[in-house]
Amino acid sequence: MTLVIGHKGAPGLAAENRVPSFAAAHQVGAQGVELDVRRVGDGHLAVWHDPVLPDGRVLLDTSWPEIAGAVDDLGAVLDACAGFDLVNVEIKNWLYDSDFDESLGIADAVAGLLATRPSVERAAYVVSCFHQPTIDRARKALDGAAPEVAVGWLLWNVDDAADTVAQALAGGYGALHPHHTAVTSDLVARAHDAGIRVNCWTSNDPDRIRWLADVGVDGIITDEPALALEVLERG
């Protein structure tokens, strides 16, 4: 069954990437959620999409006591996500981000925190990132601390399905996370033959959601989980 995954929770019902948004995703019946993680200046892990806050403060220039309450930390959000079938923890770490972590220490920090969570929760986690070296570092860190946690490679485009799946297999990735426009039946079939899941992002169009489920994607990340559940006749 294709999982309905709330993008940053249920952003139409509560502020995105905040604890109430993930609670709302539970309430509407989503099977999973996606969340974003960035570093605060003191090393704390905050659940937030952008490197800056709405008031202009740069996360990396702050400490957790300065911003606690403006954002939620990863531990609190994971508490709110207990019980989901899938929790996609996206590490925000790209070459052109103002807070890009060249050391890749953010991957170690995320892996370390996930390893402290109950084993029943860890099985639902997928750590994803666009930056391949970051997910490779996460895979290495998780292998020793929490091997049941999967990693997923985020992709905008898929130029060659066979090559993409081969890279994922070689890297030990449990999932591919392409943009929904990059999904093809060939990509899904090749990934599944290799034992790799396909969770796509971010579709809110009913016809597209139906098509994605029909070709067999494992999960659809959406801003409107209630709508997706209705489209798939689960609402």
Boundaries of domain holding 110: 3-231
Split into its structural domains, the chain has a count of 1
The pLDDT tens digits for 64-105 are: 999 999 999 999 999 999 999 999 999 999 999 999 999 999
User: Which string of b and e fits 85-99 if b means at least 16 CB within 10 Å?
Assistant: ebbbbbbbbeeeeeb
The pLDDT tens digits for 15-63 are: 999 999 999 999 999 999 999 999 999 999 999 999 999 999 999 999 9
Q: Are 38 and 46 in contact (CB under 8 A)?
A: yes
Domain of 10, CATH number, reads 3.20.20.190
Res. 234 pLDDT band, cuts 50 70 90? confident
Q: Residues 155-162: what's their mean pLDDT?
A: 97
Query: What is the spatial distance between Cα 57 and Cα 23, in angstroms, rounded to a whole number?
Result: 27
